[in-house]
Amino acid sequence: MKLLILLGCFFLQQNSLTVKSSAFADGHYIPERYSCQGQNINPEVLIGNFPSNTQSLALIMDDTDSPNGEYDHWIMWNIPPVQKITENSAPGVQGRNSSKQNKYFGPCPPNGVHTYHFKVYALDVKLEMSDTCGKKELIKAMDGHVLASGELKGLFK
């Protein structure tokens, strides 16, 4: 059993999700079309290995190399337990990103190469939250409900 520590919250998890994309490989560059320099649409996200008792999925996409701390690009919850989030779609409730918008905001670094984390969580509940919530509220609401998690990392310059 793994212990996952996320912003001071402790989640016990027994499984790891597989998180991939048909648009880029883990640790490789995200194509421009998914950035603010391109079409600014989300890439396809493929999810596997979620537990059979998963009630919903949550997704956090953030940039950990932002000069002002972490920058949240996409926050979403109450995604049905699906194996694919298709390109340019939002199958769940979209919360507020760091731009105070309820949508995907693609990579747009001010300088250098930044790492973008697509983190997916399998939850044992559907969350009752307003779409005015952001990452901090989502993490708090997920506390004690994470069955499994996984991550895909992409780079952009």
Confirm if 34 and 86 have CB atoms less than 8 A apart.
no
* 6 has pLDDT over 90: no
Amino acid letter, residue 143:
D
- CA–CA dist 88, 91 (Å, integer): 10
Q: Which residues does 112 contact at the CB level (< 8 Å), separation at least 6?
A: 65, 157
pLDDT tens-digit readout, 14-72: 569 999 999 999 999 999 999 999 999 999 999 999 999 999 999 999 999 988 889 99
Q: What angle do CA 22, 139, 126 make, to 5 degrees?
A: 75
Domains identified in the chain, total number? 1
Can you give the pLDDT at residue 4? 47
Q: Show the domain range for 67.
A: 2-156
Which of the four pLDDT bands, split at 50, 70 and 90, describes residue 1?
very low
pLDDT tens-digit readout, 109-151: 999 999 999 999 999 999 999 999 999 999 999 999 999 999 9
**Other Cβ atoms closer than 10 A to 41:** 14
CATH number at residue 116: 3.90.280.10
Total number of residues shown for the chain: 157
Handedness of CA 119, 125, 130, 131 (dihedral sign): positive
pLDDT tens-digit readout, 59-90: 999 999 988 889 999 999 999 999 999 999 99
* 5 has pLDDT over 50: no
User: 138 φ, ψ to 5°?
Assistant: -65, -45
